[in-house]
A = this chain, B = another copy of it.
Amino acid sequence: MSTLTTTTAAATEPTEPTVTEVARRARTAAAGLAPLPRSAKDAALQAVADALEARVEEIVEANAADVARAREAGTAESVVDRLTLTPERVRAIASDVRDVAALPDPVGEVVRGSTLPNGIDLRQVRVPLGVVGIVYEARPNVTVDAAALCLKSGNAVLLRGSSSAYSSNTALVAVLRDAVAGAGLPADAVQLVPGEGRDAVHELMRARGLVDVLIPRGGASLIRTVVEQSTVPVIETGTGNCHVYVDADADLDTAVEILLNSKAHRVSVCNAAETLLVHRDIAGAFLPRALDALAGAGVTVHGDERVLALAAGTGATVVEATEEDWETEYLSYDIAAAVVDSLDAAVAHIRRWSSGHTEAIVTTSQQAARRFTQLVDSTTVAVNASTRFTDGGQFGFGAEIGISTQKLHARGPMGLPELTSTKYIVTGDGHVRP
């Protein structure tokens, strides 16, 4: 079965358009999308949701082929589960599309506006980016989510999912394109990047002038490759070596709760905590309790000397930390832990080792909170709150295309406005420069 699928794909390859052709079509589609009013885009999104619901069987069947192939290849069940689409999951995806339709349209928003001294009216307004390329792994729901967010923000999207979800993505994109075209929008606003393997991704990364931005979503090596090789501007997403710092003045209950939630609420996500830093003045009171709580949640602690010394008599599993632990994004029931001499030492540790995603401080001191938020240079600084709040949904953005960990264009959770650029409209009545 899997052999048959592969052969079929290979046989149709010669008639497939090139990545550049596909990008050119997307560019044309984007020009058509840009001036559309919200009503037209929302109608298309509702049509997409309807079509996903109506064609759920077709989608699940296509997905079954991917799932069978993954199982045959001995893929881990947790990965197979993330790949799997059930009728219920497809309906949930459709519901997410309706949620995107309900969000305000970022396009046309006046970001800045004034009348210049010479009488010219100046307005800076949000416009779509144009063509957005998304390179992602595993979960086929990203295909629909990303397409919905791009459509809503007036962008054409080029989707490059993993080969393991090829059949699912092909079916989903067919449904999306039919629905978009049925609503009177250009079908080429949503396209899969054709071709096999790295060549296609490489061609996408060099399509500067046709593709306006590339957003890689997935593992660190995928992101590094795109960042290193792309001439298309890139938004780097998703690496999270997040820290929880417990200050000298901290409420112990609050600190334990925030630590546990940050680490163990969901370990596989980028906003989970990976390192605990504790001020030396509170370490004796806090760490034994914290280590017991972490042990209760099944978390292994990779501690420095001072943490190890305080672990005696607790139920905790504590191993000695090496330098590697400070930079590791475990994404598992593990946490690095160190005692620091001061808030500034905590900041220095974070500056050195953090990926710049999210760092939390637990403190009752206003001065400490202020200094920490001023000095820590990460997308999000949380004061007496879990690192898990760094999320487009939690921030009230309604949806999220990823979490940018770079400083240019967008930083932190990216909602619809982050999928736009701006242009200036200069209106005069015959104004010339003297």
Contacts and interface: CB of A to CB of B under 8 A. Distances in A.
Interface in A15-31: 31
A261 interface: yes
A218 interface: no
A258 interface: yes
A354 interface: no
Given A408-B408, A408-B409, A388 B423 contact: no
Interface stretch (A93-101, A225-233, A313-321, A333-341): A225-233
A189 to B, nearest CB: 16
A407 B410 CA distance: 12
A347 to B, nearest CB: 9
Interface in A220-252: 227-228, 231, 233-235, 251
A346 interface: no
A383 B422 contact: no
A222 to B, nearest CB: 15
A254 interface: yes
Given A380-B424, A383-B425, A251 B35 contact: no
A280 interface: no
A401 to B, nearest CB: 14
Contacts of A296: none
Given A265-B432, A407-B129, A385 B422 contact: no
Contacts of A426: 380-383, 385, 389-390
A395 B257 contact: no
Interface stretch (A5-13, A141-149, A303-311, A370-378): A370-378
A372 to B, nearest CB: 10
Interface residues of A, number: 71
A71 interface: no
A384 B431 contact: yes
A231 B231 CA distance: 9
A130 B377 contact: yes
A89 interface: no
Interface in A416-431: 421-431
B423 A385 contact: no
Interface string A259-275: 01110010000000000
B432 A258 contact: yes
A26 to B, nearest CB: 14
A129 B377 CA distance: 10
A433 B265 contact: yes
Contacts of A63: none
A379 interface: yes
Interface stretch (A114-122, A172-180, A193-201): A114-122
Given A407-B213, A412-B423, A433 B261 contact: yes
A227 B422 CA distance: 21
A427 B116 contact: no
A276 to B, nearest CB: 15
Contacts of A396: 114, 116-117, 122
B433 A422 contact: no
A212 B407 contact: yes
A238 to B, nearest CB: 16
Contacts of A385: 120, 426-428, 430-432
B233 A433 contact: no
A120 B431 contact: no
A406 interface: yes
A342 interface: no
Contacts of A251: 430
Contacts of A254: 429-430
Contacts of A408: 129, 212-213, 233, 235, 408-409, 421
13 contacts: A116-B394, A213-B407, A233-B406, A258-B432, A261-B432, A262-B432, A265-B433, A380-B424, A380-B425, A381-B424, A383-B426, A384-B429, A412-B423
Task: State the 4 A-B residue pairs at the shortest beta-carbon distance, nearest first.
Answer: A385-B428, A261-B432, A407-B421, A254-B430
